[in-house]
Chain A
Amino acid sequence: GEDVEQSLFLSVREGDSSVINCTYTDSSSTYLYWYKQEPGAGLQLLTYIFSNMDMKQDQRLTVLLNKKDKHLSLRIADTQTGDSAIYFCAESIGGGADGLTFGKGTHLIIQP
């Protein structure tokens, strides 16, 4: 079955890079996503990567995909206090028609 795994917590110092990791089990995933959730809010799509890509960069965000190891990572450069949130990794199969499978989320904690 589908399963997406993430570490529950990550603590980094302000200004450092944050790397949030995710593993997934379904090799037929077509899109992989990173969502951000701030306290009491909904989910904000940060970025996504198609399964035939290895890397995608968008301003401070870099997504790396290792299909062989079924490993996805999100790197946030120059982490700021506003980056403090829960980050969810999610996968879709078949273009997303049947919804998304989410990891449990990684709490990113920023130390001053």
Chain B
Amino acid sequence: NAGVTQTPKFQVLKTGQSMTLQCAQDMNHEYMSWYRQDPGMGLRLIHYSVGAGITDQGEVPNGYNVSRSTTEDFPLRLLSAAPSQTSVYFCASSSLPGQGLNGYTFGSGTRLTVV
């Protein structure tokens, strides 16, 4: 019972590099979202998706792209990494209201450092 799987767990990038953070869930959840967690800031929503083919911006979308070609996968792309994107990134998924447990299930996070 994997739940939400994020890879990699740790990553160091140089300024200007691009990379993709992977997120996969095996619970057939429609809703998925990406957050970043910074000290003293809590979690802030980057992008979210309500189903395959549908994505939208959250509170802090600049510098990130997402796509949702399948129900299971929701990758987050950093186009040109900047030191300000050093953070811990969490992916989460949720079923539709009334279908099973309400509330988002979170992955274990990706700790990204941009130097």
Contacts and interface: CB of A to CB of B under 8 A. Distances in A.
Contact of B103 (A45, A97, A101): A45
Contact of A104 (B41, B96, B103, B105): B41
A96 B45 contact: no
Given A45-B103, A45-B104, A96 B97 contact: yes
Given A31-B103, A33-B103, A100-B43, 9 more contacts: A31-B97, A45-B104, A88-B42, A90-B43, A96-B102, A97-B48, A98-B56, A102-B35, A104-B41
Interface of A: 30-31, 33, 35, 41-45, 48, 50, 88, 90, 95-105
Interface of B: 31, 33, 35, 40-45, 48, 50, 56, 58-59, 90, 92, 94, 96-97, 101-109
29 contacts: A30-B97, A33-B103, A41-B109, A42-B90, A43-B92, A44-B106, A45-B101, A45-B103, A45-B104, A45-B105, A48-B102, A88-B42, A88-B43, A95-B96, A96-B31, A96-B94, A96-B102, A98-B50, A99-B31, A99-B45, A99-B48, A99-B58, A99-B92, A100-B33, A100-B45, A100-B104, A102-B35, A104-B41, A104-B42
